[in-house]
């Protein structure tokens, strides 16, 4: 398909989302492993109380997050930062708002043991609980061989399933492939404004979150941006944007104060509220906040509407995901006394 002159001028740093994210050599995909990871993703027995599954905060029936300003984990404990979407997460080079996890496997480890998320005391406790369920024990042995159930294998299976959570073929993807009518004239104008206003300095490449693994950065190397970049605005005070000092809490490196891993803009119209503290409720307001705090720009309402129209074209095709049947424990509970 021939591209128009306008399409031919699109920077090479914008590319359609590939159908499959990078797969690490140490955790190759298999259909059996993906199916096992899917069961685990929906199983609340992975939490200490038996009340929370990965699905509880990463809702696959919606935007892959929970729609809250802060997530609620076991015992009603509230997390500090808003939930990032799990859709297309496998295209990132690091995970969490502060880049504290280098791989999907490590992210799962941290969430399973986080007292404000799944709350397991340690990996041995979780592995023992899962190993006590006969069907799970058989599945793990079939997928991983002996010894089968282990904390490492639990997170490997979860990550394998999560690498299938891809929303490809958005209107913007089709536009990048040459279908000029895939997005409206207003959205095309918004894309041009997005570039002119330097939004694309951070939000570029396939996930609109900076380089994917293997492009400039390797897995475990983060792509970060200062936020707020221009402190002291009314938006900063209104939405408390600088109260959390970002990656510094994890790294303890002075230059990491208010540094954040750049989040993906894919499906961003479906993942309100916005920013690390979930303080901004609407997409148009989030656009105004970013323009003012990052580039000291006051956008007019037409520019905001155009950029929002463009951002809505980033919502992809969601795959159908049927609820899995979970292995049973007939006549007994797997979470008695919270282990």
Binding site: what residues are annotated? 54, 57-58, 199, 202-203, 290
Q: How far is CA 16 from the centre of its chain?
A: 18
Dist CA 207 CA 334 (whole Å): 39
Distance CA 274, CA 286 (A): 7
Letter string b/e over residues 79-98, b meaning 16 or more CB atoms within 10 A of that residue's CB: bebbbbbbbbbbbbbbbbbb
| Residues forming beta bridges with residue 246, ordered by sequence position | 259
Alpha helices in 98-244 (DSSP H): 104-113, 123-131, 134-144, 151-162, 171-176, 185-196, 234-239
CB contact burial 326-338 (16+ within 10 A = b; e otherwise): bbeeeeeebeeee
**Angle subtended by helix axes 151-162 and 123-131, to nearest 10:** 80
Could you tell me the sign of the dihedral formed by the alpha carbons of 91, 93, 96, 97, in that order? Answer: negative
Query: How wide is the angle at C-alpha 293 spanned by C-alphas 291 and 298, nearest 5°?
Result: 40
- What would the two tokens of residue 35 be? 């199916």
Partners of 265 in beta bridges: none
CA nearest neighbour of 1 among 118, 135, 174: 174
Binding site feature residues for heme c: 54, 57-58, 199, 202-203, 290
Q: Which is it for the CA torsion 314, 269, 66, 249, positive or negative?
A: positive
Lookup result for tokens 């791989």: 103
Bridge partners of 213, per DSSP, are: 217
């Amino acid at each position: 398909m021939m591209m128009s002159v306008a399409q031919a001028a699109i920077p090479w740093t914008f590319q359609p989302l590939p159908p499959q994210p990078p797969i690490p050599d140490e955790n190759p995909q298999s259909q059996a492993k993906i199916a096992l990871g899917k069961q685990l993703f929906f199983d609340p027995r992975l939490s200490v109380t038996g009340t929370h599954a990965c699905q509880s905060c990463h809702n696959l029936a919606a935007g892959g997050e929970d729609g809250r300003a802060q997530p609620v984990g076991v015992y009603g404990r509230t997390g500090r930062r808003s939930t990032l979407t799990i859709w297309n997460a496998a295209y990132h080079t690091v995970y969490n708002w502060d880049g504290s996890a280098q791989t999907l496997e490590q992210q799962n480890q941290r969430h399973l043991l986080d007292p404000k998320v799944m709350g397991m005391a340690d990996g041995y406790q979780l592995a023992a609980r899962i190993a006590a369920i006969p069907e799970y024990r058989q599945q793990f042995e079939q997928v991983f061989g002996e010894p089968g159930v282990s904390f490492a294998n639990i997170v490997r299976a979860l990550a394998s399933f999560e690498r299938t959570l891809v929303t490809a073929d958005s209107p913007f993807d089709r536009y990048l492939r040459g279908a000029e009518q895939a997005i409206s004239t207003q959205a095309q104008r918004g894309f041009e404004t997005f570039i002119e206003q330097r939004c694309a300095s951070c939000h570029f490449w396939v996930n609109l979150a900076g380089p994917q693994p293997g492009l400039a950065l390797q897995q475990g190397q983060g792509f970060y941006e200062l936020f707020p970049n221009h402190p002291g605005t009314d938006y900063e005070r209104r939405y408390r944007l600088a109260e959390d000092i970002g990656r510094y809490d994890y790294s303890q490196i002075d230059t990491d104060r208010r540094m954040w891993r750049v989040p993906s803009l894919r499906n961003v119209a479906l993942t309100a509220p916005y920013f690390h503290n979930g303080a901004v409720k609407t997409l148009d307001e989030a656009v105004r906040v970013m323009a003012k705090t990052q580039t000291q720009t006051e956008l007019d309402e037409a520019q905001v509407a155009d950029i929002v129209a463009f951002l809505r074209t980033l919502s992809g095709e969601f795959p159908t995901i049927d609820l899995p049947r979970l292995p049973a424990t007939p006549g007994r509970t797997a979470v008695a006394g919270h282990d």
